Structure 1
């Protein structure tokens, strides 16, 4: 998905296509295990590692009203895991991590299979709620408890990251920030500062904002492993969840049983390089969509794919001057582009995109606005989850900071990499939200240095729009992991019905069988 970070930067909230589709469609038991803390751990952490989880109904863990019925299914049970807010001060404030599981349906249980859908900021609980039914009857559901969690600050976990209210989100989406003049830059930077101040005020203070990064979420996941009663972690992470996975592997290599990383981020890649390559990936996806659309004489972009970028620019850019009225709301230029990008996440969404562009060309912006709403996780009741706020907060701790000059160059490079999303305006060199974050990053680009790590599995898709194929190749090489290549389109493919991949993943997770060297799979196989 496409996310504005109030710097005119085009960066992408990366979650697997299956979870994006879910957003579009809208009693107590002991679970603790004593003595599972990592050897040499701070004695102050023992009470966290030794805790027992009290499981109960999940209805109150739903992020939005549209999820409530799904969460309320009796197959699921939920609990809260207590962790230190600041691991440097384990006797201080704590956070509560929302956890959801479906217990293994068979008698020969291996342990827990922990899911993370990425974002960063997406709900692992929601992923399990929408994934578990598709796994009914499979060996994974029979042999593993399927476990999700909302990483610290996200979803139903507390304290929750919160920066602006629902009404302010509506205004945020209409605000283009395209004035490159000194006055325009100053206004954008003022808004960025106000956004950060809102995060501090509404989320619980600077201490909360300083401890929301993936570094700390990985430590939470080890406490979760112990509380679930697992000696070692079995994990599947998608997109930004791959960062959580390799960060955990670097911190706790002796506690890893098996790990699948799908749609990978390259750990050594700079923030600027990552954003530019993501933009290029979405341009590639747009061109693939345009080629497919052109087979239909009624394609809203015409029947010549080489002209599709120019056609979509001509179609969408008028929204810069005059947003389109959609009921009592308006479709902005930013929302139109965001809706397009949302649909580029999966080939399954392409019919929605073609229909949405056709409707828009005829003065009806409902479908494009609905696609953008799915990206922002806005419910039909007008309420927003904290997904995008969490994405911004976590990114400010996980990614590198940029100067005003670098922001201007990045804006220019991003437009060149993804011309379908180029607004035709000069790049705006404004300090981003992260420039005003009250604490420094807690991660930096590097190849994980890991000793004693078991064989991991990385999956990379040749037509992935959000995390380009080469990133997965590079991550597999850096970790010494097995690489599965998916020849196709979309972002996140494991357990989504590609038999060649699902069979290999199941054999690996259940029996620790490495995939065949050089395995390549195509959709439909």
Structure 2
């Protein structure tokens, strides 16, 4: 089985997590850097907002060893139409003075109305492993409303270990770390059907973990969300903001939630769109996410005619479901040809294309429909294109050279630290059987993605309900047909947060803000700019 393709197809945005066997002893870390705590750098320049006198940043009174980090002033310089800088944070917040650090790339788009500027709006595009730098450099400012762009500097960053972070997590490629499996040739299907195939998957997952340990063992224990949330507070202070204004999509909602728990008095406004529920354990997340993807494909079958019209691959919802089921069965036996290539579309690649298309129905359902129609005739070229590679890296802040995309590695690295997982393989096979029974191939693929966490380092967090006394009202946004972060998670998170406000978008797709719904965008913009509350039960 193609472990990497299966894992990517198995819902990259499902938050999972930690594990049991420490990897630090498995090999030396060759990427850890040592440096003295940062000195104050030059003040920001060349920005319309630089003339605004920054407020003295709050510092943890009981942690004077963090003072140098909190007093940084990023040295912004032009990088195209944006500005770039770096931020230095301690690698280990328990020992911030030991000289080990992460250097995080920053990018900002200055407020278009400097006179009305409120401050900075820090955002995280999701993942875990998403690059905020790449998001903004690739036109991500368009995700925000005009009023928000006018009154905030939009600030993106690469979290510790991600993309342009120095050091960054390096697990090598799957092809580099894998060896021929004793179980025989890789299967075409997503779901293992024999004990040998299960062992093949287990061996592949363990090899992936070992490859990460060999390259990055020294930093793997330090890339979890609690440390990233502490970095957010250092960033807030370095930007000169007395309180944080933040927007997180998908995994970014969990980062924002953890920030709110750690620093409730330092939050001004938090928007959490596409929520992750921190109270769920790894099995609950798998089962809920598998069901959400299955529902999303049903929503596609039901809504195809309204969205794409005559381009639908069949004449009725039932016909679309039958066509998809037939393709899953046939590609497991005989993969489809791809024009001009020796590559083939097997069940793994079909699953990858189908699940990816569920994220943005307004832009993906039509090409998916055309691809399914061609696949039904025996040609997998369009499906292969839909399942193609991810976006490139963010670009090195100093040289502008492309930064390797390590989002796959960071997906495991963060997930496997944030929520405990068992070491016993049987626990995964038991969950696989249940998930497959409840949600078919969608549940099974989600369960198999958790195998990577079996032998990763332990994290310090456990599933829990949010405790954040003093946190101001937080806006949680949920989409009823969200395939990756189920709507039920948004409902649960909003209920856990003190003063939590739930804004609902009825419809398919992953996350809501910035996708063109005027009702959602207006409510979020009003909250961010004027702290306007959202009334209970507000639905768009």
What CA distance in whole angstroms lies between the structure 2 residues aligned with 1:358 and 1:7? 23
Q: Deviations over 1:159-204 (max 9, x none)?
A: 112212375499999766855545444433232222112112233x
Note closer, same or farther for the CA distance 1:171–1:418 as it changes in structure 2 (3 Å cut). Answer: farther
What CA distance in whole angstroms lies between the structure 1 residues aligned with 2:315 and 2:200? 42
Contact 1:254 1:453 in 2 (8 A): yes
Question: What is aligned with 2:427?
Answer: 406
RMSD: 3.3
Note closer, same or farther for the CA distance 1:56–1:430 as it changes in structure 2 (3 Å cut). Answer: closer
Question: What is aligned with 2:317?
Answer: 305
Alignment counterpart, residue 110 of structure 2, candidates 75, 81, 103: 103
| Residue correspondence of structure 1 range 102-501 to structure 2 within 5 A | 102-106=109-113, 107-129=115-137, 130-133=139-142, 135=144, 138-165=146-173, 167-168=175-176, 179=192, 181-203=194-216, 206-293=217-304, 299-300=312-313, 302-326=314-338, 327-348=341-362, 349-374=364-389, 385-402=405-422, 403-419=424-440, 421=442, 432-437=451-456, 439-479=457-497, 480-501=499-520
Question: What is aligned with 2:60?
Answer: 39
Contact 2:161 2:410 in 1 (8 A): yes
What CA distance in whole angstroms lies between the structure 2 residues aligned with 1:279 and 1:53? 42
Higher mean C-alpha deviation, range 166-175 or range 86-95: 166-175
Q: Deviations over 1:55-75 (max 9, x none)?
A: 2344xxxxxxxxxxxxxxx32
Note closer, same or farther for the CA distance 1:441–1:376 as it changes in structure 2 (3 Å cut). Answer: farther
What CA distance in whole angstroms lies between the structure 1 residues aligned with 2:521 and 2:255? 22
Q: Deviations over 1:400-443 (max 9, x none)?
A: 203322211221232234336488x9x99998221111x20232
What CA distance in whole angstroms lies between the structure 1 residues aligned with 2:318 and 2:405? 38
Question: What is aligned with 2:101?
Answer: 94
Q: Offset at 1:323?
A: 3.3
Note closer, same or farther for the CA distance 1:383–1:76 as it changes in structure 2 (3 Å cut). Answer: closer
Contact 1:347 1:489 in 2 (8 A): yes
What CA distance in whole angstroms lies between the structure 1 residues aligned with 2:6 and 2:379? 29
Contact 2:121 2:245 in 1 (8 A): yes
- Alignment TM-score, normalising by the size of structure 1: 0.84
Question: What is aligned with 1:511?
Answer: 530
Q: Offset at 1:509?
A: 0.7
Contact 2:9 2:348 in 1 (8 A): no
What CA distance in whole angstroms lies between the structure 2 residues aligned with 1:250 and 1:223? 15
Larger RCO (CA under 8 A, 6+ residues apart):
2
What CA distance in whole angstroms lies between the structure 2 residues aligned with 1:274 and 1:75? 40
Higher mean C-alpha deviation, range 44-53 or range 178-187: 178-187
Q: Offset at 1:453?
A: 0.9
Question: What is aligned with 2:38?
Answer: none
Note closer, same or farther for the CA distance 1:299–1:515 as it changes in structure 2 (3 Å cut). Answer: closer
What CA distance in whole angstroms lies between the structure 2 residues aligned with 1:358 and 1:169? 36
Q: Which runs of 5+ in 2 are unaligned?
A: 15-40, 45-49, 395-401
What CA distance in whole angstroms lies between the structure 1 residues aligned with 2:186 and 2:375? 17
What CA distance in whole angstroms lies between the structure 1 residues aligned with 2:513 and 2:488? 18
Contact 1:9 1:414 in 2 (8 A): no
